[in-house]
Structure 1
Amino acid sequence: MSTSGTVDRAFRSALYDTGDDTLDTGASLLAADPSADAELARRGEEFVASAWKRGWQPADVVRVVRRELDETHVRVVGSLIRAQARREAGEGRVRGARWKAQVGQVPTVEAGARGDRFSYATAVLELYRLLLRLPALESLDEVAGEGVASSSPGGRERARTAESRMLGRIRALLAKAEATGFPEEAEALSAKAQELMARHSVDEALLAAKAVAVEGPDAIRIGVDAPYEQAKAVLLDAVASANHCRAVWNEAFGFSTVVGFGGDLEAVELLYTSLLVQASGAMSKAEAAQQAGGRKRTKAFRQAFLAAYAHRVGVRLGEVAAEAAVGEELLPVLASREVAVGEQVERLFPATATTRLRGVRDAAGWDEGVRAAERAQVRGRRRLT
């Protein structure tokens, strides 16, 4: 039987029926035919390319695979993403700096780390099932941000890549801090993340951005990860609004799309990350104090803490924006940008709905979240003059 025939039989058995028995049958076929490996990988690259056509980007795919499956599948899809990127480069397809940075961050399967053939084939088929069923997203390829001209395009692209990698490291530390059950470890991880933020501050990122021509607003997707994703989405929305941007949350796939101009988007991404770092550290300390008083660490406490934190930080950011002194010559520019951002949001998201915070019941958590928000550093941007 040809290699494509083996893959076709495995796909007919495993991809279009979600039963475990059919998955085992497909994996057995693939495991028994090593000559089908190259064809199997080529089909996977086609699934990835199809996801790009439906509006997905590398970070989006990695995020949804991590949410729905596990790290083995993440490494497999990372290898497929990089292989597809090489294929596109060979065909002359040019992607933007953000896209390239996302590809550079994806984990891959290391040589010799696949394990037994049946287990690996099972993981591949589980991944392909998911990729096959990804719905269409709003396409960000047509948004104008990647067309920004700069005084040093190569230097700007390197700056974006370094910035994206730093944010990835910060978010990884945050994820570990939120996952650990030990307040001391969470505080140490949060402190390390804060140290990275200090070395890569919002002001530094904005000073590095020397764009000289912008055609229109851009759009980026920012992960809004579990747990307590609703409160995090509220926080991101507040940060976006304070920085002349708009955020639209996709709860099902764990991200918000933020629309705005280049420098504003960088400020949103960095300030949002910084505020999450600060919230994580403050929540760990508050929980430690609660435990010292005899109270157990509870999900309700953390949910209420982050909800209160997001709400109060939003109020503070609004106050900071209202107090900002803006030169009269900038008022028409800001007004025209606001209109352009609104029009872009309407184009990408013709139908949206508002969401209210749910499940906030812990009074102590709410009070501690408000106190943490009062201490948070929210003045991350220079005055507009």
Structure 2
Amino acid sequence: MSSTDTPTDTVDRAFSAALYDTGDAALDTGASLLAADPAADGEVARRGREFVAGAWRRGWQPADVVRIVRRELDDGHVRLAAALIRAQVPDDRPRGPRWAVQLDGLPAEDPPRSDRFAHATAVLELYRLLLRLPALEQLDEPHRRSGPRTHASESRMLTRIRALLAKAEATAYPEEAEALTAKAQELMARHSVDEALLAARDADPDAPGACRIGVEPPYEQSKAVLLDAVARANHCRAVWNEPLGFSTVVGFEADLEAVELLHTSLLVQAQTALAAAEAAQRRGGRKRTKAFRQSFLAAYAHRIGTRLSAAAEEAVADSGAGADLLPVLASREVAVTAEADRMFPETVTTRLRGVSDSAGWAEGSEAADRAQVGARPRLS
């Protein structure tokens, strides 16, 4: 480093050496340059905020960045990314409530203290990843009606749904989990009907929006199928991005919230049921296999989709809205399909792989039956 180099010069040289070359030697060169010049720290941080802003322009959101960093790097890099995202917020434009929730969910811990070379290495590894993020579909949040009655009603409804699903996840009794999950789906369906009717009377109704939901390994294909089943039962469409590990769900806001809640809960319930099925396999002297787990989860996803759709249809039939509701739901279905087609003009159908264990399929189907979302009396 020359005595006449400015911090900007140091960062330029370090980035030129490290960020556009995937080799370890280049990374070490860049990290050495940054470690030797503490005066460059501010410029390094400023450019990191620019990389984050660039990710937003390419369609990424805070939860997406954290998910890909966790997938590609390690926990230390995740904490670095979270700190960088928080630091960029004052430079960002106003975003919607879903974005704010993602910011609130960022890891709170600061990155661990380390020597300057190790820290610079981690920063450069993170920046390398941010630079090569591909462009994604922009997920602009839809306009939402304002007013204390609407928000208070939504808050109470979501609180009740979350409570029901939390109890379903915690219980050791399949029949109780079934009843609790059924009540949650009924509430979701009724909430969707109420939102649809309110939007139909509104001079400026909501438009479909979209959100991304992580689909993590292992057995991510079956998990994506489960998410698709939940989405369709709640008037949404899901498109899976296998390389990047998420599905984009398109739908109206109340339905998107229902999909996120129910999918998360059903994953927990499916894992609990799978663990119980594997324990029974061991007691019977049979080995646990990857094919068994894959087939179990595939069958669970297939069967639960049928149950959820039936429960949603019965909730609509029992809503009391009569003929007024059907044109509204049809119109919203067309709007969701059109938005999904606009965002994803080219999609392909993927066949489930590894579904070859008949015992796993049978156990998964039975578990879905136990967690079925059947008709229940209307809730007061």
Deviates more, 1:131-140 or 1:113-122: 113-122
Q: Distance in 1 between matches of 2:362 and 2:371?
A: 14
Q: Summarize deviations over 1:200-220 as a string: whole Å, max 9, x none.
A: 956677769977653311111
Largest Rg, 1 or 2:
2
Q: Summarize deviations over 1:38-65 as a string: whole Å, max 9, x none.
A: 1111111100000000111111111111
Q: CA deviation at 1:322?
A: 4.5
Report the AA paired with residue 282 of structure 1.
Answer: A
Q: CA deviation at 1:82?
A: 0.6
Aligned residues: 352
Q: Distance in 2 between matches of 1:366 and 1:224?
A: 21
Report the AA paired with residue 226 of structure 1.
Answer: P
2:280 to 286, 289, 302: 289
Q: Does 1:17 align with 2:16?
A: no
**Mapped contact 1:239–1:271 kept (Cα < 8 A):** yes
Report the AA paired with residue 97 of structure 1.
Answer: P
Q: CA deviation at 1:264?
A: 1.3
Pairwise CA RMSD:
3.3
Counterpart of 2:357 in structure 1 is 362
Residue pairs, 1:1-385, within 5 angstroms: 1-88=5-92, 93-110=93-110, 113-141=112-140, 143=141, 145=142, 147-152=143-148, 159=155, 213=202, 214-323=205-314, 324-325=316-317, 327-379=322-374
Identity in percent: 62
Report the AA paired with residue 259 of structure 1.
Answer: V
**Mapped contact 2:282–2:288 kept (Cα < 8 A):** yes
Report the AA paired with residue 288 of structure 2.
Answer: R
Deviates more, 1:275-284 or 1:361-370: 361-370
Q: Summarize deviations over 1:130-165 as a string: whole Å, max 9, x none.
A: 110011100012x5x2x11132299569959x98xx
Unaligned runs of 5+ in 2: none
Q: Distance in 2 between matches of 1:67 and 1:138?
A: 20
Q: Distance in 1 between matches of 2:133 and 2:376?
A: 38
Change (3 A) 1:123 1:356: same
**Mapped contact 2:274–2:293 kept (Cα < 8 A):** yes
The 3-state SS of whatever aligns with 2:373 is coil
Q: Distance in 2 between matches of 1:381 and 1:267?
A: 18
Q: Distance in 2 between matches of 1:318 and 1:62?
A: 33
Q: CA deviation at 1:86?
A: 2.5
Q: Summarize deviations over 1:71-101 as a string: whole Å, max 9, x none.
A: 111111101111111222xxxx211000011
Q: Distance in 2 between matches of 1:96 and 1:62?
A: 18
Q: Distance in 2 between matches of 1:84 and 1:189?
A: 44
Unaligned runs of 5+ in 1: 175-186
So what's the TM-score if we normalise by structure 2?
Answer: 0.83
